[in-house]
A and B are shown apart, each in its own frame.
Chain A
Amino acid sequence: MTETDSITLQVNGEQRRIDAALHDTLLTVLRDRLQLTAAKRGCNQGVCGACTVQIDGESMRACLSLAHNCEGADVRTLEGLGAEPRMRALQQAFAAAGAFQCGFCTPGMLVSAQALLEKNADPDDAAVRTALSGNLCRCTGYVKIIAAVRAAAAALHPEGGSAALPAGAQGTAR
């Protein structure tokens, strides 16, 4: 027997009213109730990063977030980020670089990479590796993924990204 309750979540800018059990994670609600299936259920333990979404502008694990505890928060999934210029550049760069094998980790990689590019317009390899360190690719295609993120940054700021942010703003949290 499980108690469910109606909650209102703000997902991709829209208010959505959903019935959810108290133990339901945001991932369960996104995938099974709202049919937003870009976030993947990999480990359900917060290890693999396939379920990464943005909550209040920060990349977080949907599988480690209880849906009921997300009321009032701004939840963005890959579906809702697709039109954002950085995400479009990332998607194009991933396709151009062939930064896929099975593709299961890709949505999480993209959401984490987009959060990185919002804070750091011209990340070096180390910054990309750090930002993606919570996203596992079990096909081990990391080299092309890192190259794709850097290519997306270059495409967004062809003049060299360092000029795109004021001095001192690189890599700092918002």
Chain B
Amino acid sequence: MAPLHGLYRPRTVDEAVGLLAEDDEARLLAGGATLVAMLNARVIEPTALISLRFIDEIKGIAKLSDGTLRIGAFTRHRETAASALLLGSSGVIRDAASQIANATVRNMGTIGGSVAFADPGLDYPPALVAAGALIELASKEGRRTVAASEFFVDWYTTALQPGEMVTGVLLRPSNGGAGVYVKHARVAGDYATASAAVCLEADGRCRVAIGACGPAPLADPAIDAALSGDLSDAALATAADRLAAAADPLDDVRGSADYRRRLIAPLLRRAVRAAEAALQRGRARAAARR
């Protein structure tokens, strides 16, 4: 394998994807929390690195003119976890960000790095699927967006094509909804053994996704449709059974596949009840203002 021969510092996305198009063995360096660990362990040996640190257009969280929220790919978990823009059901993203690893890693890691890495134990993927987020991509050929539910394809595999990079995450505005991410881990800061993300809108629409129970977040529009308007214990139990049947979890040091399937029902129930409570609190606040 050729040694690492270059570290590029593009200033724009166009420059970055131009570099990526010239060398398909080059890797994009965002926060480094995962990529540099893999370099140190020689798990990967890229020929060149393209540092994203100097590209302003992929930094920070902004509200676009149509109300869409855009989280730039190079936004660190710390900033996402503290954002006052992630209101309503988009709060599920903030909730997930605040539970990633530990404070120092949250100072380093970025949302673009997380979604491109697509480890099934990560916190963002289920939260993004539940939020109905779009992943914003760029290549030399142009820009496109892919729904989060279609972006995460398999273990460490995404819809990213060669020469393509993640530039951001787009979230629809949520008016008065609530979003909750519940994670079960062996100790604080570990990868999830299993997790549940729930987005509940003010009109009763509900979307759920389960993390760390298969190659990609578990979600099903039919389950969401059944839960929208019926969040009874019986409806949640049925939803959890269907999700557990569709799960394909690992048997590993964090838990057996069977244990992970059994976690789905309690995590789903906890996340849904917390979202309902948050929705009630929001309604009470709105009523107090009137």
Instruction: Enumerate chain A interface residues (CB-CB to B < 8 A).
Output: 1-3, 21-23, 25, 44-46, 49, 52, 58-61, 63-66, 68-69, 112, 130-131, 133-135, 172-173
Contact A22/B49 with A59-B107, A64-B33 known, Cβ cut-off 8 Å: yes
The answer to whether B79 touches A3, judged by C-beta atoms less than 8 angstroms apart, is no
Can you list 13 pairs linking A and B with CB atoms under 8 Å apart? A21-B4, A25-B40, A44-B41, A45-B37, A45-B40, A45-B41, A46-B36, A58-B78, A64-B32, A66-B49, A69-B49, A133-B102, A133-B189
State whether A134 touches B189 (Cβ < 8 A). yes
B101 CB-CB contact with A under 8 Å: yes
Does A22 contact B6, Cβ atoms closer than 8 Å?
Answer: yes
Please state if A23 and B39 are interface contacts (CB–CB under 8 Å). yes
Per the CB 8 Å criterion, the residue count for chain B at the interface is 28
Greatest chain A CB density within 10 A among B36, B39, B41 is at B36
User: In the complex, are the beta carbons of A22 and B103 less than 8 A apart?
Assistant: no
Interface on B for A, CB 8 Å cutoff? Answer: 3-7, 29, 32-33, 36-37, 39-41, 49, 51, 53, 78-79, 82, 101-105, 107-108, 188-189
CB of B82 within 8 A of CB of A173, answer yes
Contacts of B51 in A (CB 8 A): 69
Chain B hits for A44, CB < 8 A:
40-41
- Given known A134-B102, A173-B82, contact A60–B37 (CB-CB < 8 A): no
Partner of B104, one of A68, A112, A172: A112
Q: Which of chain A's residues has its CB closest to B81's CB? A: A173
Among residues of B, the one whose C-beta sits closest to the C-beta of A5 is: B7
* Cβ–Cβ contact B3 & A58, under 8 A: no
Closest to A67 in B: B7
Please measure, in the bound complex, the distance between the C-alpha atom of A133 and the C-alpha atom of B108, giving whole angstroms.
15
**Structural contact, B3 and A2, CB atoms closer than 8 A:** yes
Please, which residues of chain B bring their CB within 8 A of the CB of A64? Answer: 32-33, 36-37, 108
Q: In the assembly, what is the distance between CA of A1 and CA of B4, in Å?
A: 10
B49 touches A3 (CB 8 A): no
Contact B103 A60 (CB under 8 A): no
Contact A66 B7 (CB under 8 A): yes
Knowing A22-B49, A44-B40, say if A49 contacts B104 (CB, 8 Å). yes
